[in-house]
A = this chain, B = another copy of it.
């Protein structure tokens, strides 16, 4: 597998999404739920959000991929999230876990611990979240101190590389680490997606929207290609949106507009590095 192969797979995934309009339902936080849905729609997918246990199981059954984000937990999630994850795993569906704010609260810790056995096919987070999750799952030989501060990362993407690979070795899926340069890996290959904009950190929900978009592409591609396609789409759209933005709010508007118009080729040709992991 070389970079040109990857580009072709990205193009195929994105074209398929634009053609088939796949629904990638979410169980996600209330802060950014609208931005997640609008990002999914702008890219050509379809959105549906639920909270209740049997609804989680239903969408896991009818959709090709699901997005689960633990940003704002409701009490019912104690039932909804495990049942949905179990159903997704049973059916072999793709899904994206966004381990937001790992470390805050008892239910969050329990849910994130228990997801270990469900081996989420895609995990997307900032560097601190990925390191914290790898620690929580005891996947690192030496526990690394993670410094999650609410929803913000205090570590760099390269610091999370070892944790991301460790998670992939365990899940057999992909991990997407968001930062100045995004790292995407499936444990065998590493990709770094460049571009984007500093303004992503000045709007709430860029990470969540990226997770939701990963789920859309995961309806039509492997976890690794889906996670990479989403980062490429974000970085292409973000860097172009920044050129016309006057601040964070007009940036968000421009981002969705650019994402909507971006061709599969433009997204695939966004600057990225690709390498095999030497073991």
Q: Which A residues contact B (CB, under 8 angstroms)?
A: 21, 23, 25, 29-35, 37-38, 41-42, 46-52, 54-55, 58-59, 62-63, 71-76, 101, 104-108, 149-152, 201-205, 245-250, 252-261
Please indicate the chain B residues that have their CB under 8 angstroms from the CB of A47 in the complex: 31, 150-151, 204
CA distance A101 to B54 in the complex (A): 14
Please indicate the chain B residues that have their CB under 8 angstroms from the CB of A259 in the complex: 247
Contact A105 B42 (CB under 8 A): no
Q: Which of B38, B51, B73 contacts A249 (CB 8 A)?
A: B38
CA distance A35 to B34 in the complex (A): 9
Contact B249 A42 (CB under 8 A): yes
Please indicate the chain B residues that have their CB under 8 angstroms from the CB of A63 in the complex: 150
CA distance A201 to B59 in the complex (A): 21
22 pairs of residues in contact across A and B, judged by CB atoms under 8 Å: A30-B30, A30-B33, A31-B34, A31-B37, A34-B205, A38-B204, A38-B248, A41-B201, A41-B248, A42-B202, A47-B150, A47-B204, A48-B151, A49-B72, A50-B72, A52-B75, A52-B107, A247-B260, A248-B256, A249-B254, A249-B257, A250-B254
Contact B34 A49 (CB under 8 A): no
Extra A-B contacts (6), CB below 8 Å, given A246-B254, A250-B257? A30-B33, A31-B37, A42-B202, A42-B248, A48-B150, A247-B259
CA distance A205 to B34 in the complex (A): 9
How close is A145's CB to chain B, nearest CB, in angstroms? 16
CA distance A247 to B42 in the complex (A): 8
Contact B55 A105 (CB under 8 A): yes
Please indicate the chain B residues that have their CB under 8 angstroms from the CB of A202 in the complex: 41-42, 260
Please indicate the chain B residues that have their CB under 8 angstroms from the CB of A248 in the complex: 38, 41-42, 256-257, 260
Given known A-B contacts A73-B55, A247-B261, A257-B247, A104 and B50 have beta carbons under 8 A apart: yes
